[in-house]
Amino acid sequence: MLAVHFQQVLNWNELQTSLGFVPIGAALFAASLLTSRVVKRLPGIPPWGLPAGTALTAVGLWLVGTGIAVDDYVVLLPGLLVLPCGAAVMFAASTVVGMADVDGTTAGRAGGLLNAVMEAGPTFGLAAITSLATAITYARTAAPSAADTSDGFASALHLSGAAYLAVALILAVLVPSARLGRRNQMGYLA
| Res. 87: pLDDT tops 60 | yes
| Res. 64: pLDDT tops 80 | yes
User: ∠ CA(150), CA(160), CA(173), 5° rounding?
Assistant: 165
Q: Which residues contact 110 (CB under 8 A, 6 or more apart)?
A: 98, 99, 102
Min mean pLDDT across 60-64, 100-104, 107-111 is at 100-104
- Are the beta carbons of 157 and 83 closer than 8 angstroms? no
| Res. 95: pLDDT tops 50 | yes
CATH topology of domain 2-179: Growth Hormone; Chain: A; (1.20.1250)
Confidence class of residue 60 from pLDDT cuts 50, 70 and 90?
very high
The per-residue pLDDT for 128 is: 94
Domain ranges of the chain: 2-179
Q: Which residue has the higher pLDDT, 165 or 190?
A: 165
Compute the half-sphere exposure of residue 131: CA atoms within 13 Å on the CB side of its CA. Answer: 6
Q: What is the mean pLDDT of residues 127-148?
A: 93
| Res. 46: pLDDT tops 90 | no
Pick from 132, 186, 183: nearest CA to 157? 132
The pTM (predicted TM-score) of the whole model is 0.84
Confidence class of residue 180 from pLDDT cuts 50, 70 and 90?
very low
